[in-house]
Structure 1
Amino acid sequence: MSTEARSFASRLRDLFSGRSLAGALTGGDALPVRLSNRTYAGTRNAAVRELGFDQPLLWVVLSLLAWGLVMVYSASIALPDNPRFANYSHTHFVVRHGFFILIGMVAALMAFQVPMRTWERFAPWLFAVALVLLVAVLIPHVGTVVNGARRWISFGFMSFQPSELAKLAVLLYAADYMVRRMEVKERFFRAVLPMALAVLVVGMLLLAEPDMGAFMVIVVIAMGILFLGGVNARMFFLMALLVVAAFAMIVLTSEWRRERIFAYLDPFSENHALGKGYQLSHALIAIGRGEIFGVGLGGSVEKLHWLPEAHTDFLLAVVGEEFGLIGVLALIGLFLWLTRRIMYIGRQAIALDQVFAGLVAQGVGLWMGFQAFINIGVNLGALPTKGLTLPLMSYGGSAVLMNLVAIAIVLRVDYENRQLMRGGRA
């Protein structure tokens, strides 16, 4: 019997045995995609690799980490010339950033070993821990104040930002909540209101720090998971209108937030150029200097004490100055691919009836994509200035640590998807 005949006979056996309807129809390496409550269809997918995880996703993440490490060094190398950082060496920030990446990788390896069933079981407890830390950071002598904001808890070798943990905790809690409330997802008060109250409590604690940027990301994560979990569209849009109204009220009742909005509209005006529009105006100057191909790695002028927070919130402006439009477009392309890939892994999990795992992966995609969108928009002057770092790239221990843990959880979801597609158990 020829090879083709044996392959066809094998597919027929699979088809009539009921082991893999989609695999029998498409060659054994297909993803079963749910078309309705009871019907499935096979869609062509890349073959499951022996390593059992998504290698392209891992390589893109490592590329962003490496590029970020280089850019943090470039953006911070001149900081010791400033009297504020006179006691630091020129390699202080890059060494610490590399240390944070190392810690994050160790934590990511540990997180990858945890099955999604365990994450689901402990999601409410992790949410409770995040709430306790958000309260603790507001206590004098516990939380550390930097630039007027009380957002960090010092552990000696590094300062931890509870709001970063809160992003992951709310994500896991919202996914677990939707799985538990799946039967009442069409009823507003039983499906949406309890989750909305939980996010409101987190939001009040974050605004007390204040950290409106983290609150915005958490709201988008929670609302996105509710929507992807199947909450009625009319209820979702009603909730979105309420959220927009709430943020508008927060801005209108805060004088310094209103000033930021006005500065964003005209950062080069006499009233804003040396005030609330200072960072944005110099970020735009940096990106303008880069033109198409940039001035070359290390050649940025704006990082020489003109652009504040060049190694954190405004790292993209240094990328734009040193690598030009080509570098900025490449960076945007990497984040678009990363977000799309993570969302695809989530859809795979949901198609395999792993609803919690799928919602978690898609929540991570929303987190990475939305935060990158906000940071890039702020640096390009398309959005008002907001203190959000560029995921996986900007300097910051807590952010890098939690970003890598979140990516590890996505890789775990993909690993379990591949096990299921091989006929094993997650």
Structure 2
Amino acid sequence: MYTADRKLFLLTSILISISILMSYSLTTYTVILFDTGEFHFLIRQAAFGVLSISIMWFLAQLDSDVWLHRLGLTLLIGSMFLMIIMPFLPASLVSEVGGAKRWIKIVGFSLAPVEFFKIGFIYFLAWSFSRKLGYHGGMGIKQEFLRFLPYAVIFVAIMFIIAFVQNDLGQVVVLGLTLLFMLMFAGSSFKFFLVLLFSAFSFFAFFVLTAEHRILRIKSWWSLAQNSILQLLPDAVASHLRVPSSTEPYQIGHSLNAIHNGGIFGVGLGDGTFKLGFLSEVHTDFILAGISEEFGFIGVLTVTVIFLWILQRIFKIANRSEDSVNYLFSLGIGLLISFAFLINAYGISGLAPIKGISVPFLSYGGSAIIAASIGIGMVLMASKKVNMDKKRFND
């Protein structure tokens, strides 16, 4: 038996510590807007951070043969139940934004079940894929589709709950991409992967076209991004895809200005200006823009390197795992973190539409940081059974 991966634990703890620091620096205007104490967000995020680090450490001590399955299915079933009953709960028990009920109020804390569902769903896929799937062995597309059909039905039900009931298409995109890549690594053919990828884009287009606010968001993004993309296409094609330019979206405009203002080295911790009411709640979904302004390109590069290092450790654990469930689960957690980071980074820089996806371990918020830490804790739990060339992880 080997020790858990200390580097993965340390790197994740560093990101959480940065989150605590930035939750103080970037909320200068927010504390005034919401009439809270100067240290309100710092204290709350510090509490979430300490709890998250403690959870990771605690889970790393457990035996994955016993607890990985129990914890994974508990997260799946418990969070699914909460997501289903949320629309029927009274207003006193749920927080509603834009007509969608996404948070359950628990003693001064808002719990977002979807964050914990993602971890449970990743485990369910890993556990089920390891039992039901395997190398495709020359199967035809039809046979592979029949093998995948039960998962497709489950995912469509999940999409309905998250995209329609909770009005959160961004989480569906992250889960859908994770599902597709886990399926390929579980043994499906590349041809079947491409078929599912095309189907996923079709479903995504359907969800966009059935909501006017999503259509407007896509049009607004495309009007800004089209010049850099269409110049790569023939004029005859580009002319049909071009739409009239529109005013730069408020949030994206200030996000880009914050990134530009930071330059190479940033303006300094606490000296950012776009957090002063221009870029609303920058400590949440736009935290990378806030870091970029105050610490510059160097700061964003440092954060990105830490994320890449975390992913390298997770994928290394997956690659060295002899147990197929541990392999697929670790891979899935790595993919989940990767897609969330990329979607957020592309969104704040105007390269993709904003999807409301937080940055794992960095964005302010209790549910997201705790759920992500549970995922890392479960990977640490699995890492103890990994043989790294007859050496411990930390040799």
Pair in the same fold by TM > 0.5: yes
SS at match of 1:381: coil
* Residue pair 2:134, 2:188 contacting (<8 A) in 1 also: no
For residues 51 and 352 of structure 2, the distance between their equivalents in structure 1, rounded to whole angstroms, comes to 32
* Matched letter for residue 253 of structure 2: S
Pick the aligned partner of 2:306 from 319, 329, 334.
Answer: 334
Partner of 1:173: 124
Question: Quick check: 1:94 aligned with 2:39?
Answer: no
Partner of 1:394: 363
* Matched letter for residue 391 of structure 1: P
Question: Which structure has the bigger radius of gyration?
Answer: 1
Number of aligned residues: 365
Pick the aligned partner of 1:292 from 264, 277, 290.
Answer: 264
* Residue pair 2:79, 2:116 contacting (<8 A) in 1 also: yes
* Matched letter for residue 152 of structure 2: A
For residues 25 and 211 of structure 2, the distance between their equivalents in structure 1, rounded to whole angstroms, comes to 35
Give how far 1:407 is off. 0.8
Give how far 1:200 is off. 1.3
* Matched letter for residue 201 of structure 1: A
- 1:128-161 residue CA offsets vs partner (Å, 9 max, x unmatched): 3222111122224143213443100111131110
Give how far 1:101 is off. 1.4
SS at match of 1:154: strand
SS at match of 1:417: coil
Inter-CA distance 191–420: structure 2 relative to 1 (3 Å threshold): farther
- Computed over aligned residues only, the root mean square deviation of the Cα atoms, in angstroms, reads 2.3
- For 1:266-277, what aligned pairs fall within 5 Å after superposition? 266=223, 271-273=246-248, 277=249
Partner of 1:11: none
Partner of 1:209: 166
- 1:29-79 residue CA offsets vs partner (Å, 9 max, x unmatched): xxxxxxxxxxxxxxxxxxx9x7x1222222211111111111111111321
* Residue pair 2:126, 2:325 contacting (<8 A) in 1 also: yes
* Residue pair 1:290, 1:322 contacting (<8 A) in 2 also: yes
Give how far 1:124 is off. 4.5
* Residue pair 2:272, 2:294 contacting (<8 A) in 1 also: yes
Give how far 1:266 is off. 4.2
Partner of 1:199: 155
Question: Quick check: 1:322 aligned with 2:278?
Answer: no
Partner of 1:282: 254
Partner of 2:113: 162
* Residue pair 1:167, 1:217 contacting (<8 A) in 2 also: no
SS at match of 2:102: strand
> Equivalent pairs: percent with the same residue?
29
Partner of 1:253: 210
Give how far 1:111 is off. 2.7
Inter-CA distance 301–419: structure 2 relative to 1 (3 Å threshold): closer
Partner of 1:55: 6
TM-score (norm 2): 0.86
- 1:168-206 residue CA offsets vs partner (Å, 9 max, x unmatched): 011000001111103585532442111111111111100
* Residue pair 2:267, 2:294 contacting (<8 A) in 1 also: yes
Pick the aligned partner of 2:191 from 224, 230, 234.
Answer: 234
Partner of 1:362: 331
Give how far 1:122 is off. 6.1
- 1:218-264 residue CA offsets vs partner (Å, 9 max, x unmatched): 11222221111111222221111100111011112221111111222
Give how far 1:388 is off. 0.6
* Matched letter for residue 260 of structure 1: R
Partner of 1:136: 85
SS at match of 1:192: helix
For residues 302 and 286 of structure 1, the distance between their equivalents in structure 2, rounded to whole angstroms, comes to 6
* Residue pair 1:72, 1:395 contacting (<8 A) in 2 also: yes
SS at match of 1:205: helix
* Matched letter for residue 57 of structure 2: L
* Residue pair 1:184, 1:191 contacting (<8 A) in 2 also: no
Pick the aligned partner of 2:65 from 117, 130, 146.
Answer: 117
* Matched letter for residue 183 of structure 2: L
* Matched letter for residue 154 of structure 2: A
SS at match of 1:76: coil
Moved more, 73-82 or 243-252: 73-82
Using CA pairs below 8 Å that are at least 6 residues apart, which structure has the higher relative contact order? Answer: 2
* Matched letter for residue 4 of structure 2: F
Partner of 1:224: 181
